[in-house]
Amino acid sequence: MTTVSSTSPQLPRFVRIVAIAGPPAAALATLICAGAGVLPALAALAAATALTAAVGTFRLVRLALRIHARVHSFGPCRGAGYLGMGALATGVSVVLLTVAQPSARPTIAAVGLAFASVLYVIGLLLLPGAATTTHARLRRCFDGLSLGISIAFAVWLLPPPGTMPPAALAATLLGSFGLATVTVIVLRVVAYRRAAWLCGAGVGTALSGIGGLAIILGYGGPDWALLVAGAALAVSPGLILAGAARTEAGVEPATAGEPEAQLSAYPLLTIPAVVATLAAAWHLVAVGEFDETSVVLGLLVIPTVVAREVFAVSDVRRYAKRMSTQEAHFRSLVSGAGDLTMVIGEDLMVRWQSPAAARLFGLSDADVVGRAFPDLMHPEDAADVLAVLNQTLSDKDGEDAARPALVPARLRDGHGAWRDTESTLSDQRGIPEVAGLVVHIRDVGERRHLERTLHKLAFTDQLTGLANRRELMRTIATQRSVEGHTGALLVIDLHGIAGVNDARGREVGDAVLIEVGRRLRSTVGTDDVAARLAGDEFAVVTVEGPVVAYALGTRLLTALTEPYLLPGATVHIYVSVGLAELSGGDGVDDVLRRADLARRRAGQLGRNRIEWYDVYLEEQLVRRMDLERELPGAASRGELDLVFQPILGLHDGQPVGAEALLRWRSPALGTVLPNELLPVAEDLGVMGEIGQWVLQDACRRIAGWDPRLWLSVNVSPAELAAPDFVSQVAATLVANRLPPERLVIEIAEGRVGSDTPTVVTQLAGLRALGVRTALDDFGAAQASLAHLRRLPIDILKVDRALVGEHATSRQSGGMAKPLIDVVVSVGRRLGMEIIAEGLESGAQIDQARAAGCQLGQGFALSHPAPAERFEAFLAERLTQGN
């Protein structure tokens, strides 16, 4: 049963004590007053019992409803409810005594005892831990009935026949049945024992009290006897409530095993027989004969015992069936398991093996049982197996019992072949049924073969047969770990393989790579490792020092640059080699990076060269590392800054807008410009953070400028491709209360790349917001006029390269129409606004103006300036314009 702790509000301790102890105290005080003669005894008894019964019933019913509402478990809530109804039946019976005739009072008390006994027994059986099945509940009832009949038989025989009033006799019999059943239930609980003991004590007190009333009233006893019985009735609801409340407080685990299904109730069954026998013997001696009632009561003991035995036989059959089923399951599992199980004695002899031995290893019992376990293993592995066995046997304290030993060894199967196996060894000497070591043996031959195959696939290049990058890195790490060892790494780049693939096909290119691998193997030493890094990049790890490694690199250049005579083709390639010492750098990746930097330098200096890693490359590497170290968090530290370059009208010189340019004011590195900053930011993945800062700061700045001015912000394709970029722009505009038409988003024409559909989608989303878009640096590289047609662009920023070409064409006297004129014409036809950027001379301004550009930007017009100087520039120019 799942229980929860009460969530009712916690009352002050004094109030809770009064609420719990108040009604019983008031009831006892009333009974004391009656004993002193202040109140009539029967009236005081009824008042005291009614008070505690009403309060107890109310709280028990409320507890039942609370448990049901919270945990939806019907057992404990119904149990508390029936206990409450039993308390109510007790109280009602006592109250009825005050209004009934004196002659009818014993009968009323006896009837109330009957009702209360039934309700109390049902309530106890439904409490958690008392009995979880109907079968167990019936067995409890028969146990109690048997014990109750025996006690009733003894009670009937002990007094002289005919001297006990009928009501007193009925109360004695009913009380015997009730108390006996309650005792059996309480003694057989499997959980919540304290709760059961308290409830049982309360129920026993209640049954004793009301049964005592019936007997006292039947015999016409004195008032003080009634008050004593009333005292028992007054305290019983409190005990029942205290026990029932414990079932709500928390989960109490049951006793290990299946206690409610055990046959440990037999000591209780012997009590009825002993009691009945002794009572019958005494009666036979004292009276000499049995009346009909005595005979009937004596005979009733037999059916209850027989019924109890029937339940016991049913339990035994059910347990036997369960054990048979479990044994069948065990046999099927062991026979069909993928492991062979053996039991080994302390003398290391095999005592038993599972039936799977014949199926898995072809071993019969005659081959294994009675032999020493190490003798079954390969001679080279037997010593290790024996050491593990002895260590397990010597572990008397069981420190390693929770960690079964894993023993790899080769086992001879029934056909004489050696099989790779792994054995799990566990010490089960503490279990009497086993009393030995249990070994689970599994065949791992296929796994070992697969591991070797995977190792070959994981560390070998499939085309050339050389080591791959992973094996190369592992070799470098191994050689670096050798103290005093000075090896070297040569990184080799083949130039021309891509052309061979394009001109002659990939098969010819693969044939060249295979031949390269053969030449590498024939050139390097026996202790050297040649590897293919990727594509047309190879590497060699040599154990020699840098001078000898340089000579090896020269031999590799000679061998690899010789013509490749292939069927139907002769291929020529050239090679660049970079060399770095293994002892340099912070790690394996650093060594590879240094050699790769040297290889790049060799390629820049010419063909078929080998270059060392030197200090100049180190300086470049350190600069890059410094940038990577300092850049993260620069925005949050306030190190980023914006400068603004005006965009002016070429005819009147008036500012119409500006471009925000990023600067990183690093305390350690100084001012870093975007051409050095942005590549590092993209590699580190912080471009989004920096771009968001630029956008927010730019919008904050422009919000305070003249409303006729607009501001352009550069974004990278990665920023633009972010799914939430458009929503971020919208949120920034709203936060700064900035009209969207005052913001221009620029993207460089050369960085549009192949992901044009995404760029088109995002730019269209910006235009839908009202934000204008611009294509920057048009003409700086290979300008594509198709971009002008496909991209949703409002502003076209023409690079100064087109203006320079215009000047060259004019000076050369060429008759062809200048390209800037063509671009401006196309842009105007597409509805774009044209800006000539990078203007650095008056001549370029004139050329741009002549081509039809209305706006310009560049050093010839104005230099970029910080926000304060730019705002002063705006104030001056706008005042002159007005």
Whichever domain contains 543, its CATH number is 3.30.70.270
Q: What is the mean pLDDT of residues 235-243?
A: 81
Q: Produce one character per residue of 715-730: b if its CB has 16 or more CB atoms within 10 Å, e if not.
A: bbbbbbebeebbebbb
- Amino acid code (one letter) for 561: T
Kind and range of the H or E element at 778? strand 772-778
Number of domains in the chain: 4
| Tokens describing residue 436 | 């030995």
Average pLDDT over residues 779-801: 76
Bridge partners (DSSP) listed for residue 410: 420
User: Best-predicted range by mean pLDDT among 159-168, 187-196, 713-722?
Assistant: 713-722
State the Cα–Cα distance between residues 302 and 315, nearest whole angstrom.
Answer: 20
Distance CA 501, CA 604 (A): 23
Neighbours of 14 (CB within 10 A): 8
For residues 249 and 71, is the Cβ–Cβ distance under 8 A? no
* Mean pLDDT calculated for residue range 179-189: 79
Note whether 153 and 26 are same-domain residues.
yes
Average pLDDT over residues 327-344: 71
**pLDDT value for 256:** 43
Asked whether residue 150 falls in the same domain as residue 179, the answer is yes
- Of 252-261, 659-668, 669-678, 730-739, the one with minimum mean pLDDT is 252-261
Share of the chain above pLDDT 70, in %: 84
Global model pTM greater than 0.75: no
Residue 243 domain flag: yes
User: Is 2 inside any structural domain?
Assistant: no
For 354, 381, 389, 515, 780, the CA distances from 418, given in Å and listed in that order, are 20, 11, 21, 41, 73
What share of the chain in percent tops pLDDT 90? 15
CA distance 147 to 270: 9
Q: What is the longest distance spanned by two Cα atoms in the chain?
A: 155
The reply to whether 705 and 608 lie within a common domain is no
DSSP labels, 393-458: HH-TT-TTTTS-EEEEEEEE-TTS-EEEEEEEEEE-TTSTTT-SEEEEEEE-HHHHHHHHHHHHHH
- Higher-confidence residue of 229 and 468: namely 468
**Residue 288 within any structural domain of the chain:** yes
Check residue 54 and give its pLDDT: 83
pLDDT at 51: 82
In a domain, 324, yes or no: no
Residue 741 counted as domain residue? yes
Higher pLDDT, 723 or 271: 723
Q: How far apart are CA 458 and CA 148, in angstroms?
A: 80
Does residue 625 fall inside a structural domain? no
- Split at pLDDT 50, 70, 90, the class of 557 is very high
Calculated CA dihedral for residues 807, 813, 818, 821, nearest 10 degrees:
80
Q: What is the pLDDT of residues 55-111, one digit of tens each?
A: 878 887 787 777 766 654 545 567 777 888 888 888 888 888 888 888 888 888 888
Does 615 have pLDDT greater than 80? no
- Cα-flanking dihedrals φ and ψ of residue 478, to 5°? -65, -45
Tell whether 697 and 846 lie within a shared domain. Answer: yes
pLDDT for the residue numbered 3: 40
Amino acid at position 403, single letter: R
In the listed set 613, 647, 675, which residue is the last one of a domain according to the structure? 613
Q: Is residue 619 part of a domain?
A: no
pLDDT of residue 694: 92
pLDDT for 537 equals 93
What is the C-alpha separation between 563 and 496, in angstroms, rounded? 12
Residues 6+ apart with CB under 8 A from 20: 238
| Range from 246-250, 303-307, 425-429 that averages highest in pLDDT | 425-429
- Averaged confidence pLDDT in the chain: 80
In this predicted structure, the answer to whether residue 399 has a pLDDT above a threshold of 60 is no
In the structure encoding, which two tokens stand for residue 471, read together? 């094996």
Residues facing residue 530 across a β-bridge: 540
CATH number at residue 376: 3.30.450.20
Residue recorded with tokens 């006990």? 164
Question: Which two tokens mark 201?
Answer: 């004590």
pLDDT of residue 396: 59
- pLDDT band of 810, cuts 50, 70, 90: very low
- Residue 354, classed as helix, strand or coil, is coil
Do the Cβ atoms of 575 and 561 come closer than 8 Å?
Answer: yes
Contact 773, 796 (CB under 8 A): no
pLDDT tens string 481-526? 887 777 899 999 999 888 888 888 888 889 999 999 999 999 998 8
Segments of 245-338 assigned E as strands: none
Domain that holds residue 346: 337-449
Same domain flag for 581 and 476: yes
- Domain check: are 413 and 516 in the same one? no
218 pLDDT band (50/70/90 cuts)? confident
Encoded tokens for 329: 């399951």
811 and 700 belong to one structural domain: yes
Q: When comparing pLDDT for 808 and 239, which is higher?
A: 239
pLDDT tens, residue by residue, 659-684: 999 999 989 888 888 888 888 888 88
- 699 and 570 share a domain? no
Do 245 and 193 belong to one domain?
yes
- Which range in 433-437, 647-651, 809-813 is most confidently predicted, on average pLDDT? 647-651
Q: Tell me: the pLDDT tens digits for 71-83?
A: 545 455 677 778 8
Whether 332 maps to a domain, the answer reads no
Same domain, 24 and 122: yes
Question: What is the model's pLDDT at position 332?
Answer: 65
Residue where a domain terminates, one of 613, 646, 664? 613
Q: Give the helix/strand (H/E) hosting 410.
A: strand 405-412
Do 476 and 440 lie in one domain? The reply is no
**119-123, 142-146, 332-336, 697-701: which has the minimum mean pLDDT?**
332-336
Residues 464, 445, single domain; the answer is no
